[in-house]
Each structure stands twice: as C-alpha cells, then as structure tokens.
Structure 1
Amino acid sequence: MASDSIKLYSLVYAGLVGLAVLNYVLFEGGLDLAYDISFVGTMVIAVLKTALVVAFFMHLKWENRSLTYLMVLALVLTLLLMSAATYSIT
C-alpha cells in the first residue's frame, strides 16, 4: 500500500516538473511565440499545476464532494471580490 502511494506521489511530482519545464519552454525556450499565446499557455499550465497540488498533496481528491464544492465556491467568490476590487479602483 505504501509503495502505491509513493508511486502516485512520484508521478504527480513528475507531472509538476514536466509542467514547469513546459512553462519555461513557452517563455524562454526560443519558440518565438507571441506574448498572448505564451500568457494563455502559462495560465492553463498554472491551473493544471494548481489542480494537481490541490487534488493530491492537499488530499482533496479523497474528501467528500461537499468539501470540494465548498472550495470551488470559495475560489469563485474570491475571484468575484478581486474583479470587483479591480473595477472599483479609480
């Protein structure tokens, strides 16, 4: 059993390292991509890395769905507050 969890965490870690390398390649790898494409790619990679960390290292994958929905609600409300604060600055 412990060996299975070590394999799982190792795979997740390798995925995080792979995504970090891909992020580096988008900006510094000499692909000569437009900034907008690199920015969108970086945001997608950031979401994937966050999902991996939250699901596996914070053990949200094995929690009740109600806790997952609560975390998603907190994220949505935080984003709404951030957007409201952005537009309220004059």
Structure 2
Amino acid sequence: MTRLKLYTAIYVVLFVSATVQVLVEGAGLNYGTALTVILALSFVKAVIVAGYYQHLRWEPRSITYLVGIGLLAALALTVASTYSVT
C-alpha cells in the first residue's frame, strides 16, 4: 500500500509539472525565461522518473552516477541544439 501512495504522489507531481510546462509555453514569456523554466522542470521530471519508475533509487550508487552522467549529457545536447536553432 505504501508503494501505491508513493507512485500516486509521483504521478501527481509529474502531471502538475507537465501542466506547468504547457502553461509556461502559452504564457507569452520571453524565450530565455520560458526555456529556463521548461528545462528545469524537464530535468526534475527526468530525475523523478529515473529514480522511482526505473528503480535507480535502490540500485548501487555507481549505476546511479553512470545514468546521471548520461542525463547531463542529454541535457547539454538539448541546450546546444536549442541555441543552434535560433
């Protein structure tokens, strides 16, 4: 039962953050601010999904660090591609 409550809470957090991302996109903020907010929320969502739904929270730390390096590389590529589009 505890896991059900945990996963439900995580689902709600992910749902709310996705909704905030959509609202930020449509809010008419300048490009840099909207990009920063959306990237920050995406990073938080990715960490939550990796930590709980992919069970990295209960894995040895070396595996968690390895996945974290990949996540940071993906984030760096996303930022780099964003600047190459403009």
TM-score under structure 2 length normalisation: 0.78
Alignment of 1:46-57 (within 5 A): 46-57=42-53
- Post-superposition Cα deviations, 1:1-35, rounded to whole Å, max 9, x if no partner, equal xx00000000000000000011011011xx33111
- Post-superposition Cα deviations, 1:61-85, rounded to whole Å, max 9, x if no partner, equal 11111111222234456678x5xxx
Match of 2:57 among 54, 61, 71: 61
Tell me which residue corresponds to 2:30: 34
* Long gaps (5+) in structure 2: 82-86
Q: 1:22 to 1:79 in 2, by over 3 A?
A: closer
Measured on the aligned residues, the alpha-carbon RMSD in Å equals 2.3
* Long gaps (5+) in structure 1: none
Q: Which has the larger radius of gyration?
A: 1
CA–CA distance in 2 between the matches of 1:79 and 1:47? 8
Q: Partner amino acid for 2:20?
A: L
CA–CA distance in 2 between the matches of 1:17 and 1:78? 22
Moved over 6 A (4+): none
TM-score under structure 1 length normalisation: 0.75
